[in-house]
Amino acid sequence: VQPELAGDFGVLMEWADGVRRLKVRANAETPLDCQTARDFGAEGVGLCRTEHMFFDADRITAVRQMILAQDETGRRAALEKLLPAQRSDFTAIFEVMAGLPVTVRLLDPPLHEFLPHEENEFAEVAAAAGVAIDELKRRATELHEFNPMLGHRGCRLGVTYPEIYETQARAIFEAALDVAEKSGKAPIPEVMIPLVATKRELDLMKAVVDKAAQVVFAERGKTIDYLVGTMIELPRAALKAGEIAETGEFFSFGTNDLTQTTLGVSRDDAARFLGAYVEQGIYAKDPFVSLDIEGVGELVQMAADRGRATRPDIKLGICGEHGGDPASIAFCEKVGLDYVSASPYRVPIARLAAAQAALK
Ligand code: PEP
Ligand code: MG
């Protein structure tokens, strides 16, 4: 029993842990989140989003320089500046997680969120990159997207600018080796590729990650184990999961995007009409909170079946918001996922719901 959960509640959690089959991980992206998650009993990080690492006040200028660079050389110059900070972020996370699994998702931003808007922001990038402000503004206009959530995000970013994923992978492996050396406990990073729709995308991105691993291992004269897998968050990925599992060593269901793309409902704008939809009985509950089991759930079941048919020991988890919702957790138990991943404060609820699901 964690000391933070002592008393009757701690006893209840202990009973739940004795019964449940599903592992419970947390969605955590800072060492503090990770510590909170561990205090609540998380058995790993199921989703470490890396976008926040790029929004940090003292990094954003270099990030903008990278996004607005005209070519690979320009992007690499900016990425080099960002490498030490990323390495220390991952080191701190691996230290807190002390050998528990950590799934790190490579960058998945709508690109426009990184673009400068204010004059002074453009001026900062111009000074850092040695490029004229007008040139940067022209480039920013070129990067405008009408529908960023369906645009240049996820692995599409990695396919067009592989050096971004290469640098992230490098930071992950360098940090993992540092922590292994210091603590004697080697982290097992699970490198996760977002928004994959085809096996070829995953093949390309896995090659980038594997190459970065080989380079770092050769430099250090040491190796560690790691996995490369994918999010299943697009209907096409669910349909083609059998093929994708030839490359992917694990799947994590990104049910936020899978709900958005299966229902064709924007996750950012749904609030305007979803109330009426629930009132009219079109959806029993808000499908972004509680999994649409009949629809989206069928895709999850299908992908799990097809993935396991190809790779019987494939590791399966869920990291969308639904991973902390008891009704959705009951469904995950039925599908036979290995773990659910929820926000740190929902970890105790997930432990309890996993136990109830197992008993049922
Ligand atoms: C998801 O899509 O379910 C997911 C976990 O990723 P994000 O919310 O970061 O898009
Ligand atoms: Mg997503």
State how far the Cα of 116 lies from the Cα of 236, in Å rounded to an integer: 33
Mean pLDDT throughout 164-172? 98
The pLDDT tens digits for 60-89 are 999 999 999 999 999 999 999 999 999 999
Q: From the CA of 49, which ligand is nearest?
A: 1
Question: 291 CA distance to ligand 2 centroid (A)?
Answer: 15
**DSSP string covering 73-86:** HHHHHHHHHHHHHH
1, pLDDT greater than 60: no
The pLDDT tens digits for 131-159 are 999 999 999 999 989 999 999 999 999 99
305, pLDDT greater than 90: yes
Residue nearest to atom 1 of ligand 1 (CA): 254
- In ligand 1, which atom is closest to the CA atom of 253? 3
C-alpha R_g of the chain: 21
Burial class (CB in 10 A: 0-12, 13-18, 19+), 205: buried
Comparison of pLDDT for 4 and 274, the residue scoring more = 274
Mean pLDDT throughout 180-188? 94
Residue type present at position 51: E
Residue nearest to atom 4 of ligand 1 (CA): 254
The pLDDT tens digits for 338-359 are 999 999 999 999 999 999 999 9
Which candidate, 48, 83, 78, 76, places its Cα nearest to that of 64?
78
Ligand 1 near 109 CB (within 6 A): no
Ligand 1 near 320 CB (within 6 A): yes
Distances 120 to 52, 65, 71, 78, 117 between C-alpha atoms, Å: 22, 14, 23, 19, 9
pLDDT, position 351? 98
Task: Please state, as a whole number, how many other Cβ atoms lie within 10 Å of the Cβ of residue 97.
Answer: 27
The pLDDT tens digits for 15-48 are 999 999 999 999 999 999 999 999 999 999 999 9
Confidence of residue 6 (pLDDT cuts 50, 70, 90): confident
pLDDT, position 116? 93
* pTM of model > 0.90: yes
In the annotation, is 319 catalytic?
yes
pLDDT, position 7? 87
Residue-averaged pLDDT of the chain: 95
5, pLDDT greater than 60: yes
Q: From the CA of 324, which ligand is nearest?
A: 1
Confidence of residue 310 (pLDDT cuts 50, 70, 90): very high
Backbone CA torsion sign across 205, 210, 216, 222: positive
Mean pLDDT throughout 239-243? 98
Confidence of residue 4 (pLDDT cuts 50, 70, 90): low
- The best mutation among 25, 45, 47 to test binding of ligand 1, ranked by most ligand atoms within 8 Å of the C-beta, falls on 47
3, pLDDT greater than 70: no
Mean pLDDT throughout 317-325? 98
